Structure 1
């Protein structure tokens, strides 16, 4: 497994973008409504900033309380079958399915699992 991204749920996307770009020197790779992908340097996972409520909805959990912790970890297998396999292995090792893997309106395929402590992992692919 190779971790590909760390996503932070943020209250104010402009404020967060400014901090990471101007303050820490990250480079913007993608900037869309409600989402910013940043390069944190060679060999580092991508850093993603996502509006807090939108990130919680993406995972299918409440934005308040213990449902969403403000961070999720992402892995990107090459195929849908590999997404399903990885989610199955995670559940077998003590994790829980948070959102069943399914096709996404943006063309990919993804699901969420939580580790035994409730930390979210998004398993996603653009492959078939």
Structure 2
């Protein structure tokens, strides 16, 4: 068997599934694939992984770890766009949906253009273009 690693679903532990659902579905336009009490799975578009929103405590319990923790979690999600205008548009849309700007979009030292926002639970998203 030739198995290659791929990410089928990205699951985020969230404090309030209804609020997270509103942010990602109503605010950012994700489409619901499954919707159950305490759990929602969304499509991020063709060719992308799905996004699952699951109660924070339930994720920790499922994994057998403590739900306590704070600060930077050592990961971020990246949305690569085709233009600076699209970066700015995504940032504005995220903020209108309830995101917090962590780093304003600006020219990057590596030659591109990028910014960071966090969702209502503090998960970091980088929006960038290399043009």
TM-score (normalizing by structure 1): 0.50
Larger radius of gyration: 2
**Counterpart Cα distance in 2 of 1:28 and 1:65:** 28
Deviation string for 1:44-70 (max 9, x for gaps)? 10000000000110110010037xx5x
Structure 2 stretches lacking a partner, 5+ long: 76-131
1:57 aligns with 2:68: no
Structure 1 stretches lacking a partner, 5+ long: 72-128
**Counterpart Cα distance in 1 of 2:57 and 2:68:** 9
Deviation string for 1:70-117 (max 9, x for gaps)? x8xxxxxxxxxxxxxxxxxxxxxxxxxxxxxxxxxxxxxxxxxxxxxx
RMSD: 1.6
Look up the match of 1:45: 49
TM-score (normalizing by structure 2): 0.49
Helix, strand or coil at the partner of 1:25 = coil
1:7 aligns with 2:11: yes
**Counterpart Cα distance in 2 of 1:34 and 1:14:** 8
Q: Tell me the matched-pair count.
A: 68
